[in-house]
Amino acid sequence: MDKTAYLDAARRHCESRGCRLTELRQQVLELVLEHPGVVKAYQVLADLQRQRGAAAPPTVYRALDFLVEQGLLHKVDALNGFILCHHFDCPHDGLILVCERCGGVEELDATGCLSSLTDAMGKVGFTPRAQNLVLTGTCRSCQA
């Protein structure tokens, strides 16, 4: 999917959820799109300032939070960063692997891999919220 098609799909995705992909939000999404792998909020902020002059942290954090809310991005807590989700339109129990060395992102289908985890949680009465697992580590090409 090329960039334009992706943005179109993202717009339709938001509208189908009763939200608007405003110009600012799209601009932030495009900035994330420019980067491979993990993007940091303050990197986006710097990019945004280069494009439209003054901009403050809340501007970019609000846009990023919105995009995460819509499922267009995932937050990677361990790295204080964000990554694109390429499957926002189909519900997926994804397993997202982030390489600590090259910043590359890989997505696995974890369906069928989570049953034992779910069982373990069920034994203590814990009900997990649907969410994506994000793990950090080292990818194949970065193995020492």
Residues near DNA, by CB under 7 A: 19-20, 22-25, 40-43, 52, 54-59, 61-63, 65-66, 80-81
**What does 100 interact with, of DNA, a second copy, Zn ion, none (CB < 5 to 8 A by kind)?**
a second copy
**What does 126 interact with, of a second copy, DNA, Zn ion, none (CB < 5 to 8 A by kind)?**
a second copy
The answer to the question of residue 101 lying near Zn ion (CB under 5 A) is yes
Question: At its nearest, how many Å lie between DNA and the CB of residue 66?
Answer: 7
Among 57, 54, 24, 26, residue whose Cα is nearest residue 40:
57
Question: At its nearest, how many Å lie between a second copy and the CB of residue 61?
Answer: 16
**What does 124 interact with, of DNA, a second copy, Zn ion, none (CB < 5 to 8 A by kind)?**
a second copy
Residues 6 or more apart in contact with residue 94 via CB below 8 angstroms:
85, 87, 107, 108, 109, 110, 132, 133
